[in-house]
Structure 1
Amino acid sequence: MERKSTLEWYYKEYEAPIKVCQMCDMGEYETVEHVMLECKKNAAEKITWDVLIFTQQWPITSCISHKEHQHGSSCNLFPNMTSWTVHGLWPTTLGTIGPNFCNKTWHFHEKEIIDIEPYLIKYWGNIYAEDSRTSLWKHEWLKHGTCAAQLPQLNTQKKYFEKGLEWVVRYDILAVLTKNNIMPSDLETHSVKNIFQAVKDAFGVNPAIDCIYDKNTRQNILSQIKLCFDPSLKLVDCDGIIGFGTHQLGNCPSKGITYPATVSNGDKTYNYPKKLAVAHTRAWDEANSRCNSWICRALVYVYVLTWMTL
């Protein structure tokens, strides 16, 4: 195949945001496979970060933190929010924060993700009720997605947000913790070692565990759990990301961590019962046994949990 037509085919197929093939110096009649191999090699050289931090947040903690920092605020805690949700996919250079905002000419366009919005509301929803429905998605795409897009696998809004949906149902923190008898409770406390080990045993890598301090209850509460991926999107240890330098990465104290089940929201109280955690974990097991796609996994959750959230 002629090189020019080969490269045109490559651009059309992968929609590369950077012209990675400009550095290719192939012959006139190289094969598609050869051109792709060279282009992928050049693309890898242009990646400006080391790991992609996949951050999941516990919605109840996010609501507690939001209400504490903004007096009179409220939260979006939808009935179908039965799991941890995505905070973001953050390209990161080890030992630093960022890069961020890698392409200011790429704007956020809701129409590009409109067909997956129902799933985004459930798994990547905006917790802050005062902000628009799309505010979190816009922020994450502009700040982090434009940097993640250095990878062809993540070089559009649709690819970026679908990857978050794929990972949140595959690497299900609620199910992993529940299997280790770590469930939402306002009374029980846990050690960071037990939380860390539960996640590491499930996925085979070192996670990072983050907490916040609730001034009202004077408790350290579980907030976020991070998993790290290299540029090939393979799970790797989070060692080297910004943290407190302990073996259990993150900022949590060694013990006395609460995994909250309740938050007051306006004139209502939102409570996450243990039986819902057990049912959700059962749904995750069923999804793992029968599904290959993230959409299949999400639909299994809906089927199994509908009776719990009516």
Structure 2
Amino acid sequence: MWRSVLPPLFSLSPAVLFLLQLPDCAATQEAHWEDYKYGRQGSDKKPFCSWKCILFTLQWPGGFCQSLDKGNLCLIPQSINNWTIHGLWPYRAMNCCSCWPMFHSDIQELEAELTEHWPSFLKTKSSFHFWGEEWQKHGVCAACVEGMNSPLRYFQISLKLRGQFDFHKLLEDAGITPSCERPYKVEEVHQVLDPHLGDKPEIQCVTDDKGREVWFQVKIPLSRNLTVGCHHHGDADGTPASWSGPGWSSSHGHPCPPQVPFYYFPIDHQHPQRPCG
């Protein structure tokens, strides 16, 4: 007797069920992805897989909250006391294919690690929402590389990079520690980080409401095979997904001025946007 090799409908994954509910998308999903992967999206579209560099970006919670307009938006979980992941962004890879949704089950096995190393600091945005935005805007473009060609692999790679670039102790050993009183110079930080992070990582600041330059982010350029160092100019792609929406100030981050000392604010879980008054 002939038997179907397909599993019962109730045992299918959420991703498969989603595609079955969209006949047009399901019928052409593979073709769309192949066209996307190899840049065949018409003469008016860019080849989204032609990127050469990717930026691994870490943010400092004590500085990140200074980039928000409203005092009640930021929330730093009590467990967070270190640099966290902001994103893994292919350089100049905009408008990724929207035909690859991410479901909770795709990254469920990583949820505990992601919550520790890649949390959302916005009260209005859950961590899963944050991860979903990063996948849709950046991860799908990164998926052109085999080692990152699924939500699970993309986030696994990001977590491995976070382990590789755990530079908190490097800074501490060099006497660069969070402080409300002591400002630092860009060159001091470069002297500590450059030997470990390759070609001049970008040290980024925001300007707080008292006009102080505050360190909040480091962008580490990597090549397509994720080795340290890659020549690029400017930002990854304009404005990352996590910077969109109400509540953000007009200054989402800029290279810390080389001649102007900046502050490396401590993390204050009770008053995340006012750690230094």
TM over 0.5: yes
The structure richer in helix per residue is: 1
- 1:251 maps to 2:251: no
Distance of aligned partners of 1:218 and 1:73 in 2 relative to their CA distance in 1, 3 Å threshold: same
Given residue 257 of structure 1, which amino acid in structure 2 is its aligned partner? F
Letter in 2 for 1:132: S
Tell me which of 177, 196, 206 is aligned to 1:212. 206
For residue 233 of structure 2, the aligned residue among 220, 229, 240 is 240
Q: How does 1:72-221 map to 2 (within 5 A)?
A: 72-92=71-91, 98-215=92-209, 217-221=210-214
CA distance in structure 2 between the partners assigned to 1:65 and 1:172 by the alignment = 23
Instruction: Indicate the structure with greater strand content.
Output: 1
User: 2:48–2:93: 8 Å Cα contact kept in structure 1?
Assistant: no
Q: 1:203 to 1:72 in 2, by over 3 A?
A: closer
Query: How many corresponding residue pairs?
Result: 219
Q: TM-score, normalised by structure 2?
A: 0.71
The unaligned stretches of length 5 or more in structure 1 are: 1-14, 23-44, 93-97, 244-249, 272-310
Segments of 5+ residues of structure 2 without an aligned counterpart are 1-29, 39-46, 237-253
Residue matched to 2:50: 48
| Matches of 2:168 and 2:132, distance apart in 1 | 26
Distance in 1 between residues matched to 2:65 and 2:219, nearest whole Å: 19
The CA distance in 2 between the partners of 1:193 and 1:267, in whole Å, is 27
- 2:241 aligns with none
Structure 1 residues 105 and 132, CA gap change in structure 2 (3 angstroms): same
Do the aligned residues in 1 keep the contact of 2:201 with 2:221 (CA within 8 Å)? yes
| Structure 1 position 110, deviation (Å) | 1.4
Aligned letter for 1:259?
Y
RMSD between superposed Cα atoms in Å = 2.9
TM-score (norm 1): 0.64
CA deviation after TM superposition for structure 1 residue 131, in Å = 1.4
Task: Give the Cα separation in 2 of the matches to 1:267 and 1:124.
Answer: 17
Q: What is the percent sequence identity of the aligned residues?
A: 26
* CA offsets 1:180-239 (integer angstroms, 9 cap, x no match): 211111111100011122110233432111100001x32100011011111111111454
Deviations 1:18-61 (A, max 9, x none): 48999xxxxxxxxxxxxxxxxxxxxxx98311201000000111
1:210/1:223 contact within 8 Å kept: yes
Partner of 1:35: none
Q: In the superposition, relative to structure 1, how do residues 237 and 116 fare at CA in structure 2: closer, same or farther (>3 Å)?
A: same
